[in-house]
Amino acid sequence: MRIAKYLASRGVASRREAERLVWSGRVSVDGATITDPAHAVAAGEEVALDGAPVPQAADPVVYAVNKPAGVVSTARDPQGRPTVVELLDHPERLYPVGRLDIDTTGLILLTNDGQLAHRLTHPRFEVTKAYRAKVGNGPVLDGALRQLRAGVELGDGRTAPARVRRLSADTVQITIREGRNRQVRRMCEAVGHPVRRLERVAIGGLELGSLRPGAHRRVREPELAALLHATSLSAAAAGRRARGASP
């Protein structure tokens, strides 16, 4: 298994963060410093971070959090702003799955499973995310809905077709499979309806439901199985990772 993937599977960091740890020279295998994230770790080799052995993988755990406005969706913030990780009192290191803008509210996942986090956010796996947007310049007419559904031209290219429902004269629900920066806000702006309030209400079939702002809950086994299915992971593969075996 590649060392960056090894670190992610053990909850040390997300896949990208693990690559940065390796590049920075903080990771060693059997005492030898490794700087190539593609370095293969063989069975029985001891991997260490900053000289401390990396523990065996914990069981995968996922929490659903209703992120309030004003909270950043990172593990830590150099500006001292409150982070989504601080909303939980959890003994293990947890990492946010993707990001929400500081002024966007709603569902965000935290996990110790770096591979699951990678698959939930990588565009290749096309995991759906649903957003509820209250917009300006209402009412939202059928023409704007058709544009959003077909895809709109943004500065970084045309968006993929989206599922769009009008919930009220000034509120729409948009489900996308991409993850561009501020995508839903830019899509709505492109069709003449700037977003006034944005909330993520679902990820891959897992819904926010009645979870109150700032609250969290552990994702139940059937829900976790559905997330694994959405990312082409099997529960058996997740179990193998938890026991430290190669997938």
Task: Clarify whether residues 98 and 150 are in a common domain.
Answer: no
Domain assignment present for 38: yes
Domain limits for position 216: 62-123+206-234
- Residue 246 domain flag: no
Q: Flag whether 157 is in a domain.
A: yes
Residue 230, in any domain of the structure: yes
Tens-place pLDDT, residues 29-50? 989 999 999 999 887 788 999 9
Check whether residue 30 and residue 147 sit in a common domain: no
Q: Residue 84 region, left (φ>0) first, then alpha (ψ -120 to 50), else beta?
A: alpha
199 and 107 both lie in a single domain = no
- Is 242 among the domain residues? no
- The model's pTM: 0.76
* Residues listed for the chain: 247
Q: What is the CATH number of the domain that holds 143?
A: 3.30.70.1560
What confidence tens digit (pLDDT) does each residue in 93-147 have? Answer: 788 999 999 999 999 999 988 778 888 888 888 899 999 999 999 899 999 999 9
Residue 97 per-residue DSSP state: E
**SS3 of residue 150 by DSSP:** helix
pLDDT of residue 233: 58
For 147-189, what is each residue's pLDDT tens digit? 999 999 999 999 999 999 999 999 999 999 998 999 999 999 9
**168 lies in some domain:** yes
Residues 30, 75 within the same domain: no
Tally the domains of the chain. Answer: 3
pLDDT in tens, 46-70: 899 999 888 766 677 899 999 999 9
The per-residue b/e assignment along 99-125, b for 16 or more CB within 10 angstroms, e otherwise, is: bbebebbbbbbbbbbbbbbbbbbeeee
Residue numbers annotated as active site: 101
Q: Is the residue at 243 inside a domain?
A: no
Q: Are residues 169 and 230 in the same domain?
A: no
What residue type is 19 in one-letter code?
Answer: E
Q: What is the CATH number of the domain that holds 219?
A: 3.30.70.580
111 assigned to some structural domain:
yes
